[in-house]
Amino acid sequence: MRLFKFFVSFAMTLALVYFLDNRWVIGKAPLPPLGKLLDPFHGFWQNIEPRGYKPPAELQIPGLQDKVTLVFDSLAVPHIFASNDADLYLAQGYITAMHRLWQMEIQTHAAAGRVAEIAGPAGLENDRYMRRLGMAYGAQHALESMMKNDTTRMMIEKYAEGINAYIQSLHYGDLAFEYKLLDYRPEPWTPLKSALLLKNMAYSLCMRDKDMEMTNALRLFGPEVVDLLYPDQEGVGEPIVDQPGSWKFAGVLSDSVPMALPPELIQVKKKPGADPTTGSNNWAVHGSKTATGTPMLCNDPHLNLSLPSLWYVVQLHGPGANCMGASLPGTPGIIIGFTDSVAWGVTNAQRDLIDWFRITYKDSSRRQYRLDERWADTRPVVETIAVRGEDAVSDTVYYTHWGPITYDHTFRSNNNHVDYAFRWIAHDPSLELLTFYKLNRARSFDDYKEALNTYQAPAQNFVFASVQGDVAMRIQGKFPARRKNEGRFVLDGSIRTNGWQAFIPVEQNITYRNPPRGFVSSANQYPVDNTYPYYITASSWEAYRNRRINSVLGQDTSLTVADMMALQTDNYNLKAAESLPAWLKQLDSARLSPAEMTAFDILKAWNYTNTADAEGAAYYEAWWDSLYPGLIWDELLKGDTLLDVPSTYTTLRLMREKPDLAFFDIQRTPQKETVADIVRLAFSKSVQTVEQWKKDHAGSTKVPWGAYKDSRINHLLRLEPLSAAVNAGGNHDIVNAFSKTHGPSWRMVVSLEKTGVKAWGLYPGGQSGNPGSPHYADMIDPWVNGKYPALHFLQTAGQAADRFSSIVLTPSEE
């Protein structure tokens, strides 16, 4: 009997070990081996980092040539001091991996189309799409350029060495929580991964186009309606650079390009790509307008907010370099920051850098296509996609003179957006990393200008300021010298001359230095005055943030750092100020229900400021959301035909100027509605929406904007316990552009004083990617409340007043 009990107990133990140490699937969700995950000595418990934790005082790192000192401040920002560039970038790779390795790896897997290796079949759709976009194709071209340049080759190779030195030091217990949860280990880092991260930024920032939508609109409505609904220029506010008649060159091309209208309407689901709320603000103020008499520079790029954060703050101190700011985990150098002489920042330039070309195949084999009266060969590339737990999947992508055929009968075949080649500027060889190497060492306007000469994509508005007193803006990228209407519509891929024939010479890119108004600024608006000799188009331009920024900067002559912080967190809703009074006039207060009367009174008393507690902001946004796009542009959204809705500004302008426009009529009703009718209908719908929200939120009697907006900063895996709910003001079209999931991903203010550069900065997250660390999300509350910590810009490793801990990295024998 005792032997029987022993065998029963032993069998149960074996079964428990088997159950806990193997992956199981519940529904479609795979579980990690629970035994490993829950192991108190090596599992997720080991990722809980006590407050006050300090890393080892000394580490031996293979590949170093000399000693490197890392000083950490109270926010876990590393200040790296190295005696040579190679050690500087190796140490940057090592320490960034220590804090952010899983984030770096999952983002490069996503960009390369390798998510299914980790997530199984759930990642297959993403992987096929990213490979068909040619993400690795573009990254390989960028890597080849970087490897040909001695400086950038050194940077990416040493950075990769540092990451791999950290990876090689890891045991299971040291792995990030997400590795344990998903049950896999990091692979060696390669320079290609850094190139992929740069292309992933290009995907986020310059993947917006509406060629298909505009082609359909042209076929359905004709050119006059297209120009009315989708003007190239909306004629609102000041362009980024406004200096009519000062362009001393002619465009390199002037002839027009024919359009290629397909014989049928393009019926396709909306393409993924850059979020329309993605944007940014930057400005630099001349010393003539500041309290110190010296320039100030500000930047806040608006991107999808995530935990871990997109950015990682670091200081790099080496021979000829002392710079600090926001780095992109996975790539060496600093992207947005300052030195002891200059500061720089970026906003997205919005320009259309994508074209679609209709391909005519010789036959169903897709081996040849028409190009200049002959049959040219396609280049088939077989993509083998590893799928965890299943057999690998093969997918053939056909490349043409223009680029890859993204959609065909085998991929997203539920639409006829097939057999179009994808031409994207990010596929071209490029050397952006050299730009940041030079900016990280810049000391003057000439250094800034020279650094930007190698920058291509994604196109950015680079703001600049220096201790010498200069402020400047340069709109930098590799821009096709487009002909009138080129880029707005689908093109005929059988004619080579329909493609990009030339690029705007780098010296002819739009530049502004020390303008008379005393500041430069950009917020994704139209870039330049009408005398600039090149045709410019984009999927959209910003119309509100830029005017608010320019209005504030134009009024004051003794601006302070506190003023700059207040402007970055400014919640004034210019769109509401320009539209709401006219809407309210359309309402007859005598005919409103009690709930509608409450909304009416709140809206009349509202000061157009989207603070977290503003009820008027919630009612206004509910009203706008009821109007746009559904009630106004419903004709453009019904059915399967791909069409784009006009911009917010154009919509509001047409409501004012053409209230009887046919599009304002709701076609499903027998009567003909005007703007007044749909404004009243939308108001009633919006009040019903708000009343339902109140019921759903414990019968609340109020609707504060922050709660109604329900903003979130999501973990990259969308795991609720690792994400953060944020009660805050702001919204798209507002300087504080914090919408539901997008917003200022990094806020920086730099005062370029001759006695020493001073800077402040933060982002909605923390330096550590470890959810068990006190530094995982410790900057979120200060970010919401506009409480900027100082960025401690050290001149020596022994200077740190805010020193929390330090590590000395020493060479080791490999």
| Res 417 pLDDT > 90 | no
Average pLDDT over residues 423-444: 97
Copy the structure tokens of residue 80. Answer: 């790296």
Contact 393, 124 (CB under 8 A): yes
Copy the structure tokens of residue 299. Answer: 């930047």
| Res 254 pLDDT > 70 | no
Contact 292, 300 (CB under 8 A): no
pLDDT band (50, 70, 90) for residue 48: low
pLDDT at 734: 98
pLDDT at 45: 45
pLDDT at 607: 98
Instruction: Give me the phi and psi of 59, to 5 degrees please.
Output: -135, 140
**In terms of C-beta density within 10 A (0-12 exposed, 13-18 middle, 19 or more buried), how is residue 515 classed?**
middle
What does the DSSP 8-state code read for residue 627?
A: I
CA atoms within 13 A on the CB side of 720: 0
288-299: pLDDT as tens digits? 999 999 999 999
pLDDT at 801: 60
376-392: pLDDT as tens digits? 999 999 999 999 999 99
> In this predicted structure, which of 220-229, 590-599, 661-670 has the lowest mean pLDDT?
661-670
| Res 184 pLDDT > 60 | yes
673-708: pLDDT as tens digits? 889 999 999 999 999 999 999 999 988 899 999 999
> In this predicted structure, which of 35-44, 51-60, 210-219, 781-790 has the lowest mean pLDDT?
35-44
Average pLDDT over residues 157-165: 98
Q: How many residues does the chain have?
A: 814
DSSP 442-481: --SHHHHHHHHTT--SS-EEEEEEETTS-EEEEEES--B-
**Helix, strand, or coil (residue 681):** helix
**Helix, strand, or coil (residue 206):** coil
Relative to beta strand 724-726, strand 711-715 is antiparallel
| Res 42 pLDDT > 70 | no
Average pLDDT over residues 733-755: 97
Residue 529 marked as a ligand binder = no
H/E run at residue 734: none
215-251: pLDDT as tens digits? 999 999 999 999 999 999 998 989 999 999 999 998 8
pLDDT band (50, 70, 90) for residue 557: confident
Q: Which residues of 486-513 are buried (b: 16+ CB within 10 A; e: fewer)?
A: bbbbbbbbbbeebbbbebbebebbbbbe
pLDDT at 7: 44
What whole-number percentage of the chain has pLDDT above 90? 79
Residue numbers annotated as active site: 280
pLDDT band (50, 70, 90) for residue 27: very low
Contact 686, 622 (CB under 8 A): yes
Q: Measuring CA to CA, how many Å separate 694 from each of 690, 697, 725?
A: 6, 5, 19
**Other C-beta atoms lying within 10 Å of the C-beta of residue 67:** 14
- For the chain, the distance separating the N- and C-terminal CA atoms, rounded to the nearest angstrom, is 58
Provide CB contacts within 8 A for 780, sequence distance 6+.
Answer: 713, 724, 726, 764, 765, 766
How far apart CA 11 and CA 278 sit, in angstroms, is 57
Copy the structure tokens of residue 184. Answer: 């896999």
pLDDT band (50, 70, 90) for residue 728: very high
How far apart CA 227 and CA 488 sit, in angstroms, is 11
| Res 9 pLDDT > 60 | no
How far apart CA 501 and CA 220 sit, in angstroms, is 30
Highest mean pLDDT out of 153-162, 278-287, 486-495: 153-162
83-107: pLDDT as tens digits? 999 999 999 999 999 999 999 999 9
308-367: pLDDT as tens digits? 999 999 999 999 999 999 999 999 999 999 999 999 999 999 999 999 999 999 999 999
Average pLDDT over residues 185-190: 97
CA 617 to chain CA centroid, nearest Å: 26
Residue 355 marked as a ligand binder = yes
Copy the structure tokens of residue 735. Answer: 């300087």
Contact 363, 93 (CB under 8 A): no
Mean pLDDT of the chain, nearest integer: 91
The dihedral region occupied by 54, where left means phi > 0, alpha psi between -120 and 50, and beta the remainder, is beta
Identify the CA nearest to 543 among candidates 354, 679, 732. Answer: 732
How far apart CA 307 and CA 406 sit, in angstroms, is 31
Residues forming a β-bridge with 757: 752
**In terms of C-beta density within 10 A (0-12 exposed, 13-18 middle, 19 or more buried), how is residue 210 classed?**
buried
